[in-house]
Amino acid sequence: MLTYSYRVKDGNVANKLNQLARATNFVWNYCNETSFNAIKQRGKFLSKYDFRPLTKGASKELPINSQTIQAISDEYVTRRKQFKKIKLKWRGRKSLGWIPFNGQTIKIVNDVVIYDGIKIRFWKHRELLGNIKTGSFCQDSRGRWYVNFQCEVIDKRPHGERKIGIDLGLKDKAICSDGIKYDRENLTKKYEVRLAKYQRAHKKKQVKNLHAKIKNKRKDFSHKVSNEICSTSEIVIVGDISASKLAKTRMAKSVLDAGWSQLTTMLHYKAIRHGMVVKKVSEKWSTQTCSYCGVIPESAPKGISALGVRNWKCSECEAIHDRDINAARNIFNFGAGRCAPTGSLSLQ
Ligand SMILES: [Zn+2]
C-alpha cells in the first residue's frame, strides 16, 4: 500500500470541506460514545458490522453520504483496536479537519477529484499508481486542505547490487560502508535564529510556517536518500540507534534534526517495493571494533571524549579507518554475517 498526498486548491471548496469535516466529527463522536457505552454496559466491543445498522439513515440528516459514514465508523474501529483504548479522543472545533472516503466512491479526472458530486481540484505533482482503496481529505495546522489516496500497488521496482551497512550519524547523516555519504544541512541550526526572532515577536503564523518548512525539507531529504539507497542496493543493514535515548543528552537538538527514525521507516517500506532487504541490527561496539581484523584494539575511539576523532589506526592490524565508514562496515558485518560488502577494504 502506498499513500499519495496532494495539496487541494481549496479556494472555492474550503467552506464545503469544513462543513463536511464538522459532520465527520459528529459521526466520529457518535461512534466513540456508542462504542464506549457498549463496552461499559455490556462488555461488548463493537465491530465494523455492528456499526452499520447503528448509523443507518444518518446520511439523511447530515451533509455526508452513507459511504463516508461507513468509512468513518470503519476507521473508528481500526483506530480503537490499534490504540487499544476503550475511548478515543473527542473530535471538536480544535481538531484538524478530516473526511475519510472509500476508493470506490470517488472519481479522478486529471487533476480533479469528484467526491459526492463536488469537484475538488488539486496540485497533481506526481502520477497516481495502482488502485485507490481508501483515502481522506485532511487539514494541516495551517488550515490547508490535502487529499490522500491509499493505493494498492503491484508495480515492482528494480534494485541495485550494493550490499551495504549504514551508520546513521550526526555529521554526515547517513554513511554507507562503501564510502558513500548522504548529507544535508542541519535545518534546526539553520533556522534557529529566525525561529527565535518570530517567537519573541509572537508571530504565531510565521513560527508555524517555518516549522512546516523545516519538516518538509527533512522529509524531502529522507525520501531522496531512501529512494536512492533502495534502488541501488540489494542488502542494507541499518544500525539500530536509539534516537529517543540520545535525545535526552546535550546533543538533543542535532539528534532530533537528523530524523533517523523517519529515514529507517522509509527504508523499510520502500524495500518491499524494490524487492530488496533492509535489516536492523544493534550498533553497539560498531564504532570501536576494527572492521578489518574484528577486534576492539587499544587505539579505538572510546567514550564521549573521542567523539571528535574522525580517523584512527588499528593498533592490532594497522588498518586506517574513517570512523563512520568503519562503523558502517561493522554494522554490515554484524547483520550479514559472511557476505562481503561492496567497496573493498584497503590497507593504507
Ligand atoms: Zn584491526
Cβ count near 104 (within 10 Å):
11
Gap between the Cα atoms of 8 and 36, Å rounded: 35
Cα 202 to ligand 1 centre (Å) = 56
Residue 125 Cα to ligand 1 middle (Å): 50
Retrieve residue 145's grid coordinates: 486542505
User: Given 3-state DSSP classes, what are the helix, strand and coil percentages for the chain, each rounded to the nearest 5?
Assistant: 45, 20, 35
H helix or E strand, kind and range, residue 284:
none
What is the count of structural domains for the chain?
Answer: 2
Q: How far is the CA of 237 from the centre of ligand 1 (A)?
A: 21
Task: Summarize pLDDT for 109-147 with one digit per residue, the tens.
Answer: 888 999 988 999 999 888 887 788 899 999 988 889 999
- As a whole number, mean pLDDT of residues 89-93 equals 89
Phi, psi angles (nearest 5°) of residue 135: -175, 180
Question: Residues within 5 Å of ion ligand 1 by Cβ?
Answer: 290, 292-293, 314, 316-317, 319
166 and 147 within one domain:
no
**Exposed / middle / buried, residue 153 (Cβ in 10 Å: 0-12, 13-18, 19+):** middle
In a domain, residue 16? The reply is: yes
- Order of strands, edge to edge, in the sheet holding 118-121? 106-109, 112-115, 118-121
- Inform me whether the pLDDT recorded for 342 exceeds 70: no
Which cell is 186 given?
A: 542541519
Going from the Cα of 290 to the center of ligand 1, the distance in angstroms, rounded, reads 5
- Separation CA 79–CA 67 (nearest Å): 18
> What is the three-class DSSP state of 286?
coil
- The maximal CA–CA distance of the chain, rounded, in angstroms, is 79
- pLDDT, residue 250, reads 63
Residue 83 lies in a domain: yes
Ramachandran quadrant class, 294 (left: phi over 0; alpha: psi -120 to 50; beta: rest): left
Establish if 174 belongs to a structural domain. yes
- Residue 170 and residue 135 in one domain: no
Average pLDDT over residues 59-87: 90
Q: CA 174 to CA 223: how far, in whole Å?
A: 13
Boundary residue ending a domain (93, 117, 152):
152
Distance 252 CA to ligand 1 centre (A): 32
Q: Which helix (H) or strand (E) holds 337?
A: none
pLDDT tier at 256, thresholds 50, 70, 90: low
Question: How many Å apart are CA 253 and CA 114, to the nearest integer?
Answer: 44
Give the model's confidence band at 172: pLDDT under 50 very low, under 70 low, under 90 confident, else very high: low
Q: How far apart are CA 332 and CA 166, in angstroms?
A: 7
Domain that includes residue 92, residue range: 2-152
Last residue of a domain, one of 128, 152, 176: 152
* Grid coordinates given for 203: 508571530
Distance CA 23, CA 41 (A): 27
Mean pLDDT calculated for residue range 204-233 = 92
* pLDDT at residue 155 in the model: 65
Does 289 share its domain with 186? yes
DSSP β-ladder status, 311-313 and 181-182 = unpaired
Residue 101 DSSP label: E
Q: Identify the pLDDT of residue 310.
A: 86
Q: Are residues 271 and 192 in the same domain?
A: yes
* 341 is a domain residue: no
